């Protein structure tokens, strides 16, 4: 087996892992939602939010694996200018989706994390800083 063939297999395995993460994450989130709705473990209004967060997290992680698979395939298997351009477009699209999903899950943009965490700490301590 040549290096290119090996790296092609590796990229396909990483892509498969990304798809599996998304599918299994969606299935797991759905099972948890059904269980919570049947057992009335949570407040009814929390079901949707918790389901969206779990689904979003699995999609986010799956996208990261899919990007890694694309990078491996493009850089190690066939590094042509056309493939690099296609990779760049895919990475931009998936990165925008990742940032958007992260915002949907957390409720704030990734670059606002420090400020939000600092505000939460200030609220917990009653405005007293350490």
Domain ranges of the chain: 3-124
pLDDT along the chain (130 residues), means of 10: 88 96 96 87 80 89 90 83 87 84 78 80 69
User: What is the chain's mean pLDDT, rounded?
Assistant: 85
pLDDT, position 58: 93
Distance, in Å, from the CA atom of 10 to the CA atom of 55, rounded to the nearest integer, reads: 26
Q: What pLDDT is stored for residue 84 in this prediction?
A: 86
**Quick one: pLDDT at residue 13?**
96
Instruction: State residue 74's pLDDT score.
Output: 85
Q: Are 28 and 58 in contact (CB under 8 A)?
A: yes
102 CB-contact burial (10 Å; exposed 0-12 / middle 13-18 / buried 19+): middle
pTM: predicted TM-score of the whole model, two decimal places: 0.73
The Cα 117–Cα 107 span in angstroms is 12
């Amino acid at each position: 087996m040549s290096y290119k063939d090996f790296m092609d297999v590796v990229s396909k395995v990483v892509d498969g892992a990304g798809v599996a993460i998304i599918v299994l994450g969606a299935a797991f989130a759905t099972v948890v939602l059904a269980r919570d709705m049947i057992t009335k473990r949570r407040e009814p209004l929390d079901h949707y939010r918790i389901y969206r967060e779990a689904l979003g997290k699995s999609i986010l992680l799956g996208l990261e694996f899919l990007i890694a698979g694309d990078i491996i395939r493009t850089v190690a298997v066939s590094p042509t200018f056309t493939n690099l351009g296609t990779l760049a477009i895919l990475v931009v699209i998936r990165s925008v989706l990742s940032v958007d999903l992260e915002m949907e899950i957390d409720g704030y943009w990734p670059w606002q994390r420090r400020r939000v965490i600092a505000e939460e700490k200030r609220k917990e301590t009653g405005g007293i800083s350490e």
